[in-house]
Structure 1
Amino acid sequence: MLGAHFMAAMLLLLTSLCAVANGFPFRTPLDLDVTPRVTVLSSGLEGYRRFESSAVNYSTMLLEADSERLYVGARGAVFALNASDISASSALTIEWEASTEQKLQCVLKGKDNKTECFNHIRLLQRFNSTHLYMCGTHAYMPLCAYVDEKRFVMSSQPEEGKDKCPYGPTTGFTALIIDQQIYTASRYDFWSFPDIRRNAPSPALKTENAPTRWLNEADFVGSALVRESLGSSDGDDDKIYFFFTEKSQEQSTTYSHSRVARVARICKGDRGGHLTLQKRWTSFLKTRLTCSLPEYDFHFNMLRSVFVMHGLAPQDTLFYGIFGLEWKNVKASAVCRFALSEVQEAFRGPYMESQDPGSTWKEYVGKIPEPRPGTCITGKLRAKGMNVSTSLPDEVLDFVRRHPLMSHQVQPADRRPLLFRRTTDYTHMAATVVQGVDEQMYHVLYMGTDEGWLHKAVDIKGQLHIIEELQLFEEPEPVTNVLLSTERTSVYVSSPSGVVQLPLSNCERYTSCYDCIFSRDPHCGWSGAECVDVVTQSKRSSLIQDIQHGRTGCENTGYDVVQRSRSVRVGDDVLLQCELNSNLATPSWTLNGSEVQGYDLNSGFRTGTDGLLIIEARQDQSGLYTCHAVENDIKVAIVTYNVTISPDLPRPPPGERTGTFIATVPSTEHPSSDGAQSLHLLSPKNMEAMYLSLITVLGGLCVVLTVVLAYVGFCLRADQRGKYSLRAAAAAHPSSKRSSRCRKQHRNSAHMELKTVSSHCNGVCNGVSKLHNGDTQDGGFLQIVPGEAQTLASNDPPPPAPPLPPTPQHTSPECDFPNGLSATLPSVLRRMNGNSYVLLRQSDSENTSPLSHCFSEELNRILEKRKHTQLLPRPDESSV
């Protein structure tokens, strides 16, 4: 049995090691798992501005193209900031907190009085030319109010908001105010189903719940208006698209997931049905958004954020989405791009149907009524007298009620994700279009993470190149919103603690031509003397930029190379440092123009990301060392070292370094010194032996640990949970009177349950074992195996256990001892972590029968005494 457990444990260990080696649970697609080229910490940010106040949870932002204000909604307050500089002291504030009585009622509902029972602003948008409209959770009793933009004050008393705003601060929610009509999507209270609603003006519409529920535990992340009526040849209507994740309804033969990403649409001019679908949408349809890598078995089903990139025409609209995995304990993100034309094509495809509530949905193959269910009112329908949705036939509306789901899924425009990050959880994103020097239009994305970083990336031929990652906050906190302003050339990022403003680009960070073009930033170009912002330049034709490949254009430009000199003694170790600014660059060293091989143990060199180490320098290693940064197959010299190695240089005093980038140690010419011994130990052969020894020791430890774990698991499986078991190798002697009662009760049992010492004599009686002439016979000791017991509550640490007394070598008929126990029957009552137990030892010889009576008498005396004065306060029932 133990051998089987050992083999199973070894197999599990090998499986784990193989899984770690292969990146379990992922096999990373190397071409998509992109590394940010440049990492900038918060201390190195340029143009950094921040706004913060006594409020927290800054989650809602509103910025309009022609506005000079950035509106920010937080917990209990709304702010109007200067969009050019949010840190300016000209911020306006509307304080809007829930009353004490309302907070008390929220607590009585079982909500958290530290996070939920406040007024979190969830909706903040423009209502008309003079007013804004905002809604807050108001301690789980939502309210809404109008805001006078000019004076920045509430222009009216708050109104009921339970149909427009979710109750909680973290409930999925999205909202749009279009032509003074309020469209919202959320789960509006704890008991209700998710819903898409139009609240004003009349008629108010919502989604259907019976007999077919249109939304199944939906969690909304975004919405967008696409004005498809512009330039429409058939008089089509504008559409509103909603993005969310919901519980899956489809049946799939390839793979199954409990939740899937969706896009749904409704027509802006929808007025509901006349008899069927009264006050319900007549144009609601939904379909699935897929973002996956089937060849790697990656299926990103959780939609986290969406950004709509409007094109010159409605058909050019793109949807960028951030997707995550369904596993909550695994960090991973993917970015997929969808074309509006493919979304529209899916809504023109076949429908899905479910025969019974709760059954799996399958593709509908029956007859489709006319006009096509779920379409908007068009010019053709108007010509037939159907000017509004209330004119649609009941047959069409009944079909819409039962068939809200489409069969065709929407695939990414590039048929694969633009980006995959295994160690990052993106939370929100925004994008803009930048025209490069090559006259092409590039999409630049700004993506916030759950740890407070901002990644700037450019879309190049269907794949994202991360230009830089910026640390926005010293302490990790999630990004809650991202907004861009091309007019202010700024990106605004909100978080629980405040709002940050940064420039869209920082081209001054790149100090050479190669550094500028390697960045592949559409905002930046090399002017011949510096890296400048392309948008600010009137003559772009003279700028150097290579977004497509990031490697050409700087062949004839000069650049500065740092030059240093080093003089060292023969036998010294020398470190030549080389700092690379790019995470994508790798160092390459040359000596007098020839490449240095620093991987062979006997080469005398060691190369790493921090520099080149010359080991036990020799005179023939003198020369000009050059460190190159290799990026995009281009080698760029960074620093040169003119190294002179001589045997007769004066030795520096102990502890003094020969230079900033050189680490020297005493030569091996003096074996009596500690430094010489250290260098001898660091010789290539000794280092190799040390590595092999270390690997051997670690492997042995893994094997030992595996065996121990297997043995412990085998032993624990044999014991009963919550009991103490007693194992006896041999029963008591048949002629011994002192154990006859015990043998009668447990003659054929090797395991028994021990009760507490104070109340069960039989349990203690079973603790007697053999002792003959002071020597323990084989198997004469009974083993007490601890199980589980509650510990006694005490703030004082438990006293150390006293040592066991020595085994007596002779017996005496005397029973008169101060502690009431015979010296030949030593008993030790111990208390360890609240558990008490008694260790009893007794002679087995019949000639010592007087001691048997002494033991019985003294034991009875102890137990009688414990009725009045217990040795331990309330010993546990599970203690022995």
Structure 2
Amino acid sequence: MRRNVPIYLVALSVVAVMGYPSKGAAMDLDATPRMTVVYNDLTSARHFSSNAQNYTTLLLEDEKGILYVGARGAIFSLNSTNIADGSHHITECYNHVRLLQRLNATHLYACGTFAFHPLCTYIDTNKFTLPTHFEEGKEKCPYDPAHGYTGLIVDGSLYTATRYEFRSLPDIRRNRQQRILKTEESPLHWLNDADFVASVLVRESMGSYLGDDDKIYYFFTERAGEESASIFDKTQVPRVARVARVCKNDIGGKKILQRKWTSFMKARLACYIPYYEILKDVYSLNNGDWRSTVFYAAFSLSAQWRSMEVSAICRYNISEVRTAFQGTYMEYQDSSRKWSQYNGEVPAPRPGACINNRARKAGYNTSQDLPNSVLDFIKLHPLMYEEVKPVDGAPLLVKKNVIYTQVAVDRVRALDGKVYDMLFLGTGNGRIHKAVVLGSKVHIIEDIQVSRVPQPVETLIISKKQRSLYIGTRSGVLQLPLSNCRRYISCFDCILARDPYCGWDGEKCRELAETPERSRMIQDVLRGNMGCLNNSSQATPVQKNRTVLRGDDVLLPCEQTSNLARAMWLVNGTEVLTEDGQGHFRMGVDGLLLTGTQLEFSGEYQCYAEENGLQALVASYVLSVLPEQLVPQLSPTMPQQSWYSPSSANGDGKFIYIAVITVLGGLCFVLSVVLLYVSCLQKRKGKYSLGVPQASSVELQTVSSNCMGKGSPEEEEEDDLGIFPDGCLQIIPGEATTLSSPSKEAPPAPPPPPPPLPAEFTNGIPTLPNMLRKMNGNSYMLLRQNEEPCTSPLYNSFTEELSKILEKRKHTQLVEKLDESSV
């Protein structure tokens, strides 16, 4: 893949220069949002969440003021005015809810995955309870929540598109009232590993003089099979964005294409880089007439561009889509296994077209009346040669380092009488880009963080009545106002934002929808720099004083609220400050840094925010640079003051010198006393005194039998110290006893030793160091051990002997209530 990156970059350049010539697209490459709003600043946001997860299916009924939310294991009914103000919910509703649509005036229709066995049901909206009976959902809902899915209920019929079963291919189906229809699977697959993202109903029958039928458009991404699909890399199978179309009243063929679509057609949806785009989401809107329908689509680069993260937004007119479906067909070539343009004869009536007045005059009232030649042609030619190109032949927006996952669009009429499209773009890391479409380009107004933890935005819905945006994520639902004009504190801010929702009324920035009287309001969406007078700008900031010594550094902060603004500094109101060659002035995003200040740097510093030809004062400072020495320097010829005479300076030096010597002498004396005391302790028979012995409440003396009553009289005298002559041990748990100093009285004689232990408990310990051991929290003092081996009949290791003694501890207990860990 790395070696193909240069090829992709060259192809990108060729496409950008030749295929899609647009100055607007070049200007908007990696467009910067004007303002950044962090999560903690969302004061007007409302949240809803519960124990459920994956709040990905939203259904808004704006007139009733209800927002239905389908999550994992629950369905909620929320107040659309304030989603945090209580809720009604249904639990135990079959895992991931994928479909939630209004069926009739009293019921909703819902489907869920139900652990890879989809189920559907009817929900009474008045009672909001689940019935006891569920329908089989294999033909209506995907078995896996990770599969792409889209569904619509149109005039009582359910139109869905997904992969329905584990071994099945992606399919577009119609269920319920009308006859069940599917796409053709053989000999050619109409869909090639398709991943569906959206479906849209267009009422083309309304006002049609041709008597046309309504159509459902499906948007998806699939593997490309065209001959030109692998122009960059022959080893890769690229994926391509598609739009498909079916007629609402299609009932399939009579003998050919029985229970199959006779109106299925698909075309490529081009945006930025042909054959290397992944469709993420599609949103449609119109002005009440289907002829004004516009589709906004969000794209990202395909897997071949692993080293780049780019998203694009394209806009398509319904007229361009209809033109593509009325163009030339493609056919599959067995020799090359690719699709190429079809140049042969096309039968009549036109294959794939809906039944209209012309077909009815020819005797074809339904799709079952179509001749076999037409049905055979449709079966082998579902793909169109013409591609659907975006408006102006180029994308509206290209943004690097971001993945757009959702798109929602609102239309707003501004003060100038023009209608602007407002885009709300959800990203893969939990942010919303609010933008306005200005002709052939996009201006991003705000970058809003809507999730504290980065997570993809799954669903976006706009409420015109509540003037709110509802955002569905894995962790919950968020309600945001479409505009927050209070965020713009000055006229310049309000005008430069170019927000069609907001206008300046002379005192503050207000929402147009909340202001009946608009005669005095100011707004400039198209240019963003007209209308504000000097006296209507923000109030003059408070002037601050800064005082530094010569040679020090000082930072003069100048915070810019706009990411598009550039800081401009003035000195004493006239001189434009620029960075000098010596590096004394350094301008940054946070302010002006002055290094190595000089006396001539003193003066008034003013920071202006310059954006789109406008300037606004942001910060003002008065800087005072003082000399390095605050006291006056007198020349040698001038008379010296008494407080600064040389004799006084010499006397101060002598005093400091004597004080230092005295302190050091005292420290040496203290160290000498400590060392003398430690030396005296070491001379007491060469041993340390461990302090006053503390008698242990319980003692257990375990002595080997072969060590009893042996040794010379001198050795017997040493028994008072607990030492046995021939390398045996006396182990005393608890506090270790200490050896008394010769000048003190000897401790009382220890109690007589216990009777000899049986031979099975005797042991010989050949080599153990003279050290203090700790076992089970008790201290043990090892008193002495000879280097000669003990002549014990049973020779075991010290660990084995202790284990035996612990196991048979009851035979060696001399005192009642012994410590459990004593040995």
| TM, length-normalised to structure 2 | 0.71
Q: Is residue 248 of structure 2 the alignment partner of residue 272 of structure 1?
A: no
Q: Is residue 109 of structure 2 the alignment partner of residue 96 of structure 1?
A: no
Q: Is residue 103 of structure 2 the alignment partner of residue 127 of structure 1?
A: yes
SS at match of 1:414: helix
SS at match of 1:188: coil
- Cα distance per residue 1:405-438 (max 9 Å; x no partner): 0000011012111111111111111111001111
Q: Is residue 392 of structure 2 the alignment partner of residue 395 of structure 1?
A: no
In the alignment, the residues of structure 2 paired with residue 319 and residue 30 of structure 1 have an alpha-carbon distance, to the nearest angstrom, of 23
- Cα distance per residue 1:437-479 (max 9 Å; x no partner): 1110000011111111111111111211111011111111111
SS at match of 2:227: coil
In the alignment, the residues of structure 2 paired with residue 178 and residue 81 of structure 1 have an alpha-carbon distance, to the nearest angstrom, of 24
Describe how 1:382-531 pairs up with structure 2 within 5 A.
382-531=360-509
Cα offset, 1:355, TM superposition: 3.3
- Cα distance per residue 1:53-93 (max 9 Å; x no partner): 0101111000023121100001111100111111112x111
Residue 559 (structure 1) aligns with: 538
Q: Is residue 288 of structure 2 the alignment partner of residue 312 of structure 1?
A: yes
SS at match of 1:431: strand
Residue 79 (structure 1) aligns with: 76
Describe how 1:331-730 pairs up with structure 2 within 5 A.
331-356=309-334, 359-556=337-534, 557-562=536-541, 563-602=543-582, 604-647=584-627
Cα offset, 1:617, TM superposition: 2.0
Identify if the C-alpha distance between structure 1 residues 584 and 267 changes in structure 2 by more than 3 Å, giving closer, same or farther.
Answer: same
In the alignment, the residues of structure 1 paired with residue 416 and residue 448 of structure 2 have an alpha-carbon distance, to the nearest angstrom, of 27
In the alignment, the residues of structure 2 paired with residue 259 and residue 521 of structure 1 have an alpha-carbon distance, to the nearest angstrom, of 37
Identify if the C-alpha distance between structure 1 residues 44 and 347 changes in structure 2 by more than 3 Å, giving closer, same or farther.
Answer: same
Cα offset, 1:600, TM superposition: 3.0
Which letter does structure 1 place at the counterpart of 2:176? Answer: A
Cα offset, 1:204, TM superposition: 0.5
Residue 723 (structure 1) aligns with: none
Cα offset, 1:597, TM superposition: 4.1
Residue 45 (structure 1) aligns with: 42
In the alignment, the residues of structure 2 paired with residue 529 and residue 390 of structure 1 have an alpha-carbon distance, to the nearest angstrom, of 68
Q: Is residue 38 of structure 2 the alignment partner of residue 58 of structure 1?
A: no
- Cα distance per residue 1:764-820 (max 9 Å; x no partner): xxxxxxxxxxxxxxxxxxxxxxxxxxxxxxxxxxxxxxxxxxxxxxxxxxxxxxxxx
- Cα distance per residue 1:815-840 (max 9 Å; x no partner): xxxxxxxxxxxxxxxxxxxxxxxxxx
Contact 1:32–1:463 (8 Å) recurs in 2: no
In the alignment, the residues of structure 2 paired with residue 183 and residue 575 of structure 1 have an alpha-carbon distance, to the nearest angstrom, of 64
Residue 182 (structure 1) aligns with: 158
Residue 203 (structure 1) aligns with: 179
SS at match of 1:75: strand
In the alignment, the residues of structure 2 paired with residue 357 and residue 447 of structure 1 have an alpha-carbon distance, to the nearest angstrom, of 44
One of 136, 140, 145 as aligned partner of 1:164: 140
Which letter does structure 2 place at the counterpart of 1:433? Answer: R
Q: Unpaired runs of 5+ in structure 1?
A: 1-11, 99-118, 652-880
Contact 2:546–2:623 (8 Å) recurs in 1: yes
Identify if the C-alpha distance between structure 1 residues 156 and 381 changes in structure 2 by more than 3 Å, giving closer, same or farther.
Answer: farther
SS at match of 1:252: helix
- Cα distance per residue 1:486-508 (max 9 Å; x no partner): 10111000111110011110000
In the alignment, the residues of structure 2 paired with residue 485 and residue 523 of structure 1 have an alpha-carbon distance, to the nearest angstrom, of 14
In the alignment, the residues of structure 1 paired with residue 75 and residue 630 of structure 2 have an alpha-carbon distance, to the nearest angstrom, of 71
SS at match of 2:126: coil
Identify if the C-alpha distance between structure 1 residues 495 and 240 changes in structure 2 by more than 3 Å, giving closer, same or farther.
Answer: same
Cα offset, 1:638, TM superposition: 0.8
The alignment-based identity, stated in percent, is 47
In the alignment, the residues of structure 1 paired with residue 93 and residue 465 of structure 2 have an alpha-carbon distance, to the nearest angstrom, of 33
In the alignment, the residues of structure 1 paired with residue 184 and residue 92 of structure 2 have an alpha-carbon distance, to the nearest angstrom, of 34
In the alignment, the residues of structure 1 paired with residue 311 and residue 290 of structure 2 have an alpha-carbon distance, to the nearest angstrom, of 28
Cα offset, 1:599, TM superposition: 2.9
Cα offset, 1:208, TM superposition: 0.3
Contact 2:35–2:446 (8 Å) recurs in 1: yes
Q: Unpaired runs of 5+ in structure 2?
A: 18-24, 632-823
SS at match of 1:399: helix
In the alignment, the residues of structure 1 paired with residue 285 and residue 544 of structure 2 have an alpha-carbon distance, to the nearest angstrom, of 51
Identify if the C-alpha distance between structure 1 residues 79 and 357 changes in structure 2 by more than 3 Å, giving closer, same or farther.
Answer: farther
Q: Give the aligned CA root-mean-square deviation in angstroms.
A: 2.4
Cα offset, 1:32, TM superposition: 2.6
In the alignment, the residues of structure 1 paired with residue 629 and residue 163 of structure 2 have an alpha-carbon distance, to the nearest angstrom, of 79
In the alignment, the residues of structure 2 paired with residue 417 and residue 370 of structure 1 have an alpha-carbon distance, to the nearest angstrom, of 37
Cα offset, 1:30, TM superposition: 4.8
| TM, length-normalised to structure 1 | 0.67
Q: Is residue 29 of structure 2 the alignment partner of residue 32 of structure 1?
A: yes
The more displaced of 597-606 and 468-477 is 597-606
In the alignment, the residues of structure 2 paired with residue 554 and residue 428 of structure 1 have an alpha-carbon distance, to the nearest angstrom, of 36
SS at match of 1:342: helix
Contact 1:574–1:614 (8 Å) recurs in 2: yes
Contact 2:75–2:93 (8 Å) recurs in 1: no
Contact 2:492–2:537 (8 Å) recurs in 1: no
Contact 1:300–1:323 (8 Å) recurs in 2: no
What is the number of equivalent residue pairs in this alignment? 609
Contact 2:239–2:276 (8 Å) recurs in 1: no
Cα offset, 1:155, TM superposition: 3.7
Contact 1:448–1:454 (8 Å) recurs in 2: yes
Contact 1:86–1:501 (8 Å) recurs in 2: yes
In the alignment, the residues of structure 2 paired with residue 461 and residue 383 of structure 1 have an alpha-carbon distance, to the nearest angstrom, of 44
Q: Is residue 136 of structure 2 the alignment partner of residue 140 of structure 1?
A: no
In the alignment, the residues of structure 2 paired with residue 569 and residue 537 of structure 1 have an alpha-carbon distance, to the nearest angstrom, of 54
SS at match of 1:397: helix
Residue 109 (structure 1) aligns with: none
Residue 843 (structure 1) aligns with: none
Contact 1:300–1:334 (8 Å) recurs in 2: no
Which letter does structure 1 place at the counterpart of 2:601? Answer: Q
Identify if the C-alpha distance between structure 1 residues 453 and 445 changes in structure 2 by more than 3 Å, giving closer, same or farther.
Answer: same
Which letter does structure 1 place at the counterpart of 2:524? Answer: D
Contact 2:241–2:268 (8 Å) recurs in 1: yes
In the alignment, the residues of structure 1 paired with residue 505 and residue 584 of structure 2 have an alpha-carbon distance, to the nearest angstrom, of 43
Cα offset, 1:170, TM superposition: 1.1
SS at match of 2:54: coil
SS at match of 1:291: coil
Contact 2:28–2:399 (8 Å) recurs in 1: no
Cα offset, 1:571, TM superposition: 2.5
Contact 1:46–1:506 (8 Å) recurs in 2: no
In the alignment, the residues of structure 1 paired with residue 562 and residue 575 of structure 2 have an alpha-carbon distance, to the nearest angstrom, of 21
- Cα distance per residue 1:8-52 (max 9 Å; x no partner): xxxx99x99xx9xx99xx999453311111111111112111111
One of 232, 244, 249 as aligned partner of 2:208: 232
One of 219, 231, 237 as aligned partner of 1:243: 219
